[in-house]
Structure 1
């Protein structure tokens, strides 16, 4: 299996750059439609909470991916050096 480490690292950084756009709703002072605006405000609070959880998960995934990619590169380098040493002994 071949992994494009640079592309994987780029995707991990994309996850780390995700953010929540600001959301706000102002409830008008008039009574007309006040219940509607309160429902919208409540929905936005729920959306923001869910988006924060999603962003947190994305950041954790990005961080984990970067650590894993570092470990993969290290293991690949060690294996490559060991194979080169072994090949040198055999020739």
Structure 2
């Protein structure tokens, strides 16, 4: 704050420009993280679905296990998305 009060208009403009550049960098970084997470989630779901198709055994227990795995994955994905949204809100 002291730096800001002592700065002249040109210096203040520079300070603001740096802040904007940093925000933009963070925004891009976050977008990349989001895309990576979405890709990982898709891959996880695809592998799970693939496993389900391979192991469609008549046994109910293995089917229940797979369903539980899928539910856990979906819960993890929801938690990750909530965390990302919270991070975005904090930065705005």
Tell me which residue corresponds to 1:36. Answer: 8
From 36, 41, 61, the counterpart of 2:33: 61
In the alignment, structure 2 segments of 5+ residues that lack a partner are 60-92
- Larger relative helix fraction: 2
Cα root mean square deviation, aligned? 2.1
Q: Deviations over 1:27-52 (max 9, x none)?
A: xxxxxx9x532222111110011111
What is the CA distance between 1:69 and its match in structure 2?
A: 1.0
Q: Please say if 1:51 is aligned against 2:18.
A: no
In the alignment, structure 1 segments of 5+ residues that lack a partner are 1-32
TM-score normalised by L of structure 1: 0.52
TM-score normalised by L of structure 2: 0.51
Return the structure number with greater relative CO, CA threshold 8 A, min gap 6: 1
Give, in whole Å, the separation in 1 of the partners of 2:47 and 2:15: 47
Number of residue pairs aligned between Structure 1 and Structure 2: 54
What is the CA distance between 1:68 and its match in structure 2?
A: 1.1
Give, in whole Å, the separation in 2 of the partners of 1:83 and 1:44: 58
Rg larger in structure: 1
Give, in whole Å, the separation in 2 of the partners of 1:76 and 1:43: 49
